[in-house]
Amino acid sequence: MLASLKALSKRLSRLGAYISSILFVLLVILIMTEIIGRSFFDYSTMLADEYSGYFYLAAVFFGLAYTFEEGGHIRINLITSRFSERGQEWIDIFAGVMSAGVMLFVLYYCWLFMIDSFEMEMLSENVSETPLYLTQIAMPIGIALFVLSFLVFTLKRIFNDY
């Protein structure tokens, strides 16, 4: 059971990382297109500023779980390094449970935020008038992947399955 959950989490976080990478490449292409268009052709896409923000937001949220699974988030172990190995495991379990709980709270409100934007048919105030729920959907998806990573992290510590 834990092995299949670990494999699922790893696959989904890797998928999030691929999506994040693609979004960063698109972000660079969009900005370069805007720069070249303005510099040489007196032309603007009129949406580079808006969409670069959307791409960046989505890239960050899709990359959260992968970054966590690869140990890329900041860990302050100044105090925990003084504990025994078992003590460190208990601190990791506590931190995993607390982090998952906080992120479930964030997930719930991000979901409500996106649903409100959809139901109220909210549009961006820019030229594109993009439906805002489309730009916000990455938040609950990315956070859900992040919560799954926290749960797998915590279960691995509980069952000593690294």
Tens digits of per-residue pLDDT, 48-97?
999 999 999 999 999 999 999 998 888 777 788 888 888 889 999 999 99
Instruction: Give the domain range for residue 38.
Output: 2-158
The Cα 97–Cα 103 span in angstroms is: 10
Q: Average pLDDT, stretch 119-133? A: 95
Coil, helix or strand at residue 131: strand
Segment among 29-33, 77-81, 139-143, 156-160 with least mean pLDDT: 77-81
> Of all residues in the chain, what percent carry a pLDDT higher than 90?
82
Residue 79 is predicted with a pLDDT of: 81
The Cα 60–Cα 26 span in angstroms is: 14
Pair of tokens at residue 72: 């890329």
Question: What is the average pLDDT value for the chain, to the nearest integer?
Answer: 94
55: which strand partners?
Answer: none
The Cα 147–Cα 153 span in angstroms is: 10
> Of all residues in the chain, what percent carry a pLDDT higher than 70?
99
Q: Which residues contact 110 (CB under 8 A, 6 or more apart)?
A: 136, 139, 140, 143
Number of domains in the chain: 1
Residue 131 pLDDT > 90: yes
Residue 75 sits at the vertex; the CA angle it makes with 100 and 140, to the nearest 5 degrees, is 35
- Model pLDDT for residues 20-33, shown as the tens digit of each residue: 999 999 999 999 99
The Cα 103–Cα 67 span in angstroms is: 15
Q: Give the predicted TM-score (pTM) of the model.
A: 0.90
By C-alpha distance, which of 103, 101, 99 is closest to 139?
103
Coil, helix or strand at residue 125: coil
- Model pLDDT for residues 102-125, shown as the tens digit of each residue: 999 999 999 999 999 999 999 999
Q: How many other CB atoms sit within 10 Å of the CB of residue 162?
A: 6
By C-alpha distance, which of 26, 16, 76 is closest to 48?
26
Q: How far from each other are the two terminal CA atoms of the chain, in whole angstroms?
A: 14
